[in-house]
Amino acid sequence: MATSRVSGSTVLQVVYPLLALVLVILVWAAAVELFQIPRYVMPSPLQVWNHIQSDWQALLNGFGITFYEFLLGFIFGASAGFVFAVLMDASSTTRGVLYPVLIASQAIPVVAISAALTIWLGFGLAPKLVIVALVVFFPVVVNVLDGLASVDRDVLNLVRSMGASKFNIFRHVKLPATYSPLFSALKLSATFSVTGAVIAEWTASTSGGLGAYLMQANSRLNTAGTFSAISFLALLGVVSFLLVVLAEYLLTPWRSSSKARPWSRTYWRDPS
């Protein structure tokens, strides 16, 4: 009974988004036909689909390039943010010095520094990775820092009194407390990072990507091409979000089930 209930819930989680997508397409198509909107203002879903079919290879190549930029920048930004949060938690001096700087840095729009990064780092992959990483970095720092600060002081005092080393305290007490806020930050940043990758391609693109494709379509008033690129960017955002959800599911099994999964039981088996 419990298994069927879980399966039904999983099916609904897939069906509801698909129904919402179908509804959006139907409303979009009806609005274009009802108000006789010109194609150069807003194409119909069928026109966008025809354009995707006719330029499939270019859009697929652009998707691959943008996804590669996003993935590397996302990993780099999340890793750097996590390390900075741990360092700031370990030293109140480091936190007092760096935290105001990090907050002030968020007042600077990414668009404003993208041109400077292009001048400093060139038109290659580096400025794109930095821009994507900057989008991810701050949410990860703040959320992980909050997770580390939320650890019960009584628990820390208890494990210290039992002779636990600083490393073991971090590994077994503090690190698990960061999982929930960390994945919340990563899910939030997953879609924003796609925007960062597009902005980077607008200012420092020599290798293509969906951002470059979007600019070319806009410059030619090719609205079908523009909406096709937007559709692939939306797909990239959804894929990115689902990858983070999958990582959360695998690394925090206790959040979705009271029983350990078979692979995790094997991995964590006590050697004694």
In the predicted structure, residue 187 carries a pLDDT above the cut 60: yes
What percentage of residues in the chain have a pLDDT greater than 90? 37
Mean pLDDT of 247-272: 62
Q: Report yes or no: 200 and 208 within 8 Å, Cβ to Cβ.
A: no
Residue 129 lies in a domain: yes
* Poorest-pLDDT segment among 65-74, 109-118, 157-166, 226-235: 109-118
How do residues 42-85 score in pLDDT, each as one tens digit?
Answer: 999 999 999 999 999 999 999 999 999 999 999 999 999 999 99
Q: Please report the pLDDT score of residue 169 as a whole number.
A: 86
Residue 32 lies in a domain: no
Q: How far from each other are the two terminal CA atoms of the chain, in whole angstroms?
A: 37
The residue range of the domain holding 127 is 61-257
**Mapped to the 3 state alphabet, what secondary structure does the chain carry?**
CHHHHHHHHHHHHHHHHHHHHHHHHHHHHHHHHHCCCCCCCCCCHHHHHHHHHHCHHHHHHHHHHHHHHHHHHHHHHHHHHHHHHHHHHHCHHHHHHHHHHHHHHCCCCHHHHHHHHHHHHCCCCHHHHHHHHHHHHHHHHHHHHHHHHCCCHHHHHHHHHCCCCHHHHHHHHHHHHHHHHHHHHHHHHHHHHHHHHHHHHHHHCCCCCHHHHHHHHHHCCCHHHHHHHHHHHHHHHHHHHHHHHHHHHHHCHHHCCCCCCHHHHHHCCCCC
Mean pLDDT of 109-132: 83
Residue 68 lies in a domain: yes
In the predicted structure, residue 2 carries a pLDDT above the cut 50: no
Q: Report yes or no: 2 and 18 within 8 Å, Cβ to Cβ.
A: no
Q: Please report the pLDDT score of residue 107 as a whole number.
A: 80
Residue 203 lies in a domain: yes
* Poorest-pLDDT segment among 121-135, 164-178, 251-265: 251-265
Amino acid identity of residue 133, one-letter, is A
Residue 166 lies in a domain: yes
Q: Please report the pLDDT score of residue 68 as a whole number.
A: 92
Residue 30 in tokens: 């009806």
Largest CA distance in the chain: 75
In the predicted structure, residue 164 carries a pLDDT above the cut 70: yes
In the predicted structure, residue 268 carries a pLDDT above the cut 70: no
* Backbone CA torsion sign across 260, 262, 267, 272: positive
Q: Please report the pLDDT score of residue 270 as a whole number.
A: 46
Distance CA 147, CA 141 (A): 10
This prediction has a pTM of 0.83
Residue 107 lies in a domain: yes
Residue 218 lies in a domain: yes
Mean pLDDT of 11-33: 86
Task: Report the CATH number at residue 231.
Answer: 1.10.3720.10
Residue 157 lies in a domain: yes
Residue 210 in tokens: 């969906």
Q: Please report the pLDDT score of residue 79 as a whole number.
A: 94
Q: Please report the pLDDT score of residue 206 as a whole number.
A: 65
Domain count, the chain: 1
Distance CA 136, CA 240 (A): 13
Q: Report yes or no: 118 and 203 within 8 Å, Cβ to Cβ.
A: yes
- Pick the residue with more confidence: 204 or 164? 164
Taking CB atoms within 8 Å and a gap of at least 24, the contacts of 52-56 are: 52/228, 52/231, 55/225, 55/228
In the predicted structure, residue 153 carries a pLDDT above the cut 80: yes
Q: For the stretch 189-226, what's the b/e string if a residue is b when 16 or more beta carbons lie within 10 angstroms of its beta carbon?
A: bbbebbbbbbbbbebbbebbbbbbbbbebeeeebbbbb
